[in-house]
Each structure stands twice: as C-alpha cells, then as structure tokens.
Structure 1
Amino acid sequence: MTAKRTFRVWRGGGDGALADYEVEVNEGEVVLDVLHRLQATQAPDLAVRWNCKAGKCGSCSMEINGRPRLSCMTRMSVFEPEETVTVTPMRTFPVIRDLVCDVSYNYAKAREIPSFTPPADAGPEGYRMAQEDVQRSQEFRKCIECFLCNNVCHVIRDHEENKEHFSGPRFLMRVAELEMHPEDSADRRMVAQDEFGLGYCNITKCCTEVCPEGIKITDNALIPLKERVAGRRYDPLVWLGSKIGLRSPDADTPRVPNTRPGDGGPARS
C-alpha cells in the first residue's frame, strides 16, 4: 500500500528552517527509508547520516516529531495517517547541515576517561570473575553510542556552559562500568564527581527513556555511582580522619569488601 505523506524536514545549518515535502510512503517503511526516497526524488543535497540501518550503529539519531529517535528504527506506522512528520537534527549538538550534527563533544569526553586499569598482582592465571559481576558490566556495553541520552539530558541540552564540566549520561555510564568492574584497580569515585560532573545529574531518567537498547542508565549506573561517591566522600571514618589531620577525604584509601545498598553487588576491596 502506497500513500503520500507530508514530511517537514530541517534544511540548512543552525540558522536553517523547516521545508515541507510531499513524499511517497510504502507499507512497512521506516523514517530513514522515506528520507532516502526524498533524497532520490526531490532533495538530492539533503544531508543525512546513517550506516547500518539495523539499529546497531547509532548513526541516524535525530528528532522525529520532537522525540529523539533512531530514524532506521522508527516505523511510519506509529504516526497517524494524516499526521505531518517533522524531522529535525538533535538539538543539543551544533548542526553541520540539515540532519547532520557535530557530535565531537562526545568523543572529546570519551578520551578524558582513564582507561581500564588491571591490578598489578594478577598472577600467571590471569583474571577470574564471577558471572554476576560480568553481567553487571555487560548491560552497559550494549550502548551503540547514538548519543540520544546526551541529547535529551537537560543538563547539557539547556545549559551550554555545563558541557565543560559534565560528560553526560553516556560517559558517566562508562565510568560506572569501570568502577563496578571487579578487576579494575582504579578508584573512579572522586573522578566521577569532580571531573565528570556526576553531581549535576538529578536523576530525572530522561536518558533511560530514550535509550534504544533499553539500558537502565539511571537505575543501574548513575544512582549506584552516586551511592559509591557518597559512601567515599561522606564515610564517617574518612571524615573523622580528615578532621584530625590523619588523612584527606579524597585520599586513596583501601575499601573493605561490603555490599552497598542499591549498587547490585559487593564493592571492591
């Protein structure tokens, strides 16, 4: 079944405007299919970023009728038959042209995260981990870096000045992944708070709501990371030691194995 639909598409750079097109839509198509047809028939200079068309590369992120989505996974059937489909670039990042944004901010933040730091005393047998610990990290590794979570996060979406101090949910999740890894020896709690802006996050769960992979970013990464930071910074023994001059609250002190409420498992020693 074929029908004509009205597409309202952003054209130009940051100071561009919306342009209306009447374009053919076939049954079972997704928004990216229609944008490709629009390129082929009416707007050959339309800039659209895409790659796998299978929801696994994260390239085709954009805002469709005001909601951050992957265009390759958004079926035309979700819209009403007479509804105009408005397609705009992600609002949080600078527009290069049409539907293509400059997402280099995200890669700059990724480079700031200290890499995995294995323990020095691994031994000849290497590392052994419990399956439960492996599974905790595996959820975060499903991320396809579509940056929809960073796009919708109001901390950087509405406050440009925060980009210098706030890495966004995608990379705070990466810090949480490493912090919870049983074989990562670095203490990343104060780094998360002081360098990546964990304190800016007020856990509205908007990042979780738009994640195409269904990762529970807020519940399983950000909140447990906040709990670990609070336990480190406000531990009464550390506080007392800082008051009597024995140690700094930010000193690298060993942790005793224990279970922290809400973080899904034992903390490292």
Structure 2
Amino acid sequence: MGYQAHFRVWRGDADGGDLHDFTVEANEGEVVLDIIHRLQATQCGDLAVRWNCKAGKCGSCSAEINGRPRLMCMTRMSEFAEDEVVTVTPMRAFPVIRDLVTDVSFNYEKAREIPAFSPPKGVAAGDYRMHQVDVGRSQEFRKCIECFLCQNTCHVLRDHEENKPAFAGPRFLMRIAELEMHPLDSLRENTGADRTEVAQQEHGLGYCNITKCCTEVCPEQIKITDNALIPMKERVADRRYDPLVWLGNKIRRRRT
C-alpha cells in the first residue's frame, strides 16, 4: 500500500546549493534509493546521484540520510514514519560535484600511498601457504566495499580539512592493519619499512582517538576500531614505550 512520502533533498554544486522539498510516492518494501529514482523519473530528471548495484555491495550510493551517513539502497522506508520528513544530503567530508554526488578522489589518492603487499622473496605466487587461523584474522577487513562512509563520519576528516594531507582515515588504516597481520607480507624484510610505523608516521594513526564512529556506520559491520585501529595503536605504544621491548631492540641492535 503506497503513501505520499515527504523528502527534503539537497540540490546544488560546488558553488553552493540548498534543500528542496518534494512529495513523492512510496510503496511497501522500498528503500530510499527507490524514492530518489522515482523523484528523478517524475519531478527532477536532472537530479545527480551515484549508484550501481542497489544491493549494498558496490558502495556507490553513499549519502547522509537525516544526518547519518548511510547507503541509500540499504535504508528502508519502513524505518521512517509516513509523516516524517526524510532529508537526503551528500557526504559532508568530500567536495560536492553536483546534488548528491561528491568527489571521493581523496580516498584513491590515499590508497595509492599505502605500500602494496610484499611477498617473501624466493617463493612463487602459487606456493604461498597460510594457516586458516591467519586467514581468519584479516578476513573481516576484506569485506570492505569502499563506500567511504567511515571516512565521511570520521571527525578527523569531516571537521578538519587541514588534517587530510596527514591522515589516511579509518578505511586505509584498516588496510595497513590487514597487510600487517598477513603472515606472508615481507615489507620489512624486503624494504626495511615497518607497516605499523608507516601507519603512525606517514598516515596519521595517532590522530585517531577511537570514538568508534567509523565502526557504527559500516554497512558490513566491520569492527574497524576494535579489530584494526586499537590493536595497531597498541603495537605502536609497545614498540615505543614498553621498557622490555626497548631493551630487546637495544640488545638486538648491538648484536648486529
């Protein structure tokens, strides 16, 4: 059974814009993206919106719905009362291109800065072997669909534009944690670089104050803070401030 839904959608571009009110038909079982598509088809054919799979797996339709970063295709209309105004705005942490479409190229730039997986020397790709327990440690992080909702909600990026050059954000710190947990990653042996120190010194791990807002908005329910960021911050603290670790490193350096 259908009803008339009340939507408030941001329209504009990089030079500015405003919220516009619409009344549009909504039907049982629909999601916010369905309503946006109907709005395009019936009232504003030039409304810009990014989407692809409509199944919560491509990460394309990220937006802010009633102020919360969400996927439009995974936000059911049944979550809202029929007389409630549903406000849809673009992600706030990234520059607006037009309407609900933002420029997320910042994220791809950060991705390119992270050292790639570095396999052990002398081992062919088909000869890699891992225990299932090692696979399981980082399997969770590979569920990431790169919707960048975690990047958008992280206040280090969202509220402080000046931090962006020095801070990779939760998605890419999680990527470093995933590689650091990989038992076959030999970046340190191959290049001398330590992934934990790279995260701290080059990608701003120290900026993160573990508010867990990134975990709260993740559509894949990845425990970004608890399972990636906090353990990596703990390893940084151990290496820098644990007196036993410091003494062990000192002895090791003397022997070499």
| 3-state SS, counterpart of residue 168 of structure 2 | coil
Output aligned runs, 1:21-60, within 5 Å: 21-60=22-61
Change (3 A) 1:238 1:137: closer
More helix per residue: 2
CA offsets, 1:30-60, max 9 Å, x none? 0000000000000000000000000000000
Q: CA deviation at 1:227?
A: 1.5
| 3-state SS, counterpart of residue 199 of structure 1 | helix
| 3-state SS, counterpart of residue 93 of structure 1 | coil
Q: Which amino acid aligns with 2:162?
A: E
Q: For 1:231, which of 220, 235, 238 is the aligned residue?
A: 238
Q: CA deviation at 1:240?
A: 5.0
Instruction: State the partner residue of 2:79.
Output: 78
Aligned mates of 2:160, 2:54 — CA distance in 1: 32
Aligned mates of 1:82, 1:108 — CA distance in 2: 42
Aligned mates of 2:64, 2:7 — CA distance in 1: 13
Q: CA deviation at 1:115?
A: 0.4
Instruction: State the partner residue of 2:7.
Output: 7
Unaligned runs of 5+ in 1: 248-252, 255-269
Instruction: State the partner residue of 2:195.
Output: 188
Paired residues of 1:142 and 1:215 also in contact (CA < 8 A): yes
Instruction: State the partner residue of 1:204.
Output: 211
CA offsets, 1:230-258, max 9 Å, x none? 222234366458889x57xxxxx99xxxx
CA offsets, 1:97-150, max 9 Å, x none? 000000000000000000000111437972221101101111000000000000
> TM-score with structure 2 length normalisation?
0.92
Q: Which amino acid aligns with 1:229?
A: V
Instruction: Please identify runs of 4+ aligned residues in structure 1 that moved more than 6 A.
Output: 241-244
Aligned residues: 248
Output aligned runs, 1:89-168, within 5 Å: 89-122=90-123, 126-168=127-169
Q: Which amino acid aligns with 1:215?
A: I
| 3-state SS, counterpart of residue 16 of structure 1 | strand
Aligned mates of 1:231, 1:125 — CA distance in 2: 35
Change (3 A) 1:121 1:79: same
Residue 215 (str. 1) matches residue 222 (str. 2): yes
Aligned mates of 2:202, 2:149 — CA distance in 1: 22
Change (3 A) 1:66 1:234: same
Aligned mates of 2:54, 2:162 — CA distance in 1: 34
Aligned mates of 1:181, 1:219 — CA distance in 2: 18
Deviates more, 1:224-233 or 1:167-176: 224-233
Aligned mates of 1:125, 1:115 — CA distance in 2: 18
Paired residues of 2:239 and 2:246 also in contact (CA < 8 A): no
Unaligned runs of 5+ in 2: 188-193
Instruction: State the partner residue of 1:262.
Output: none
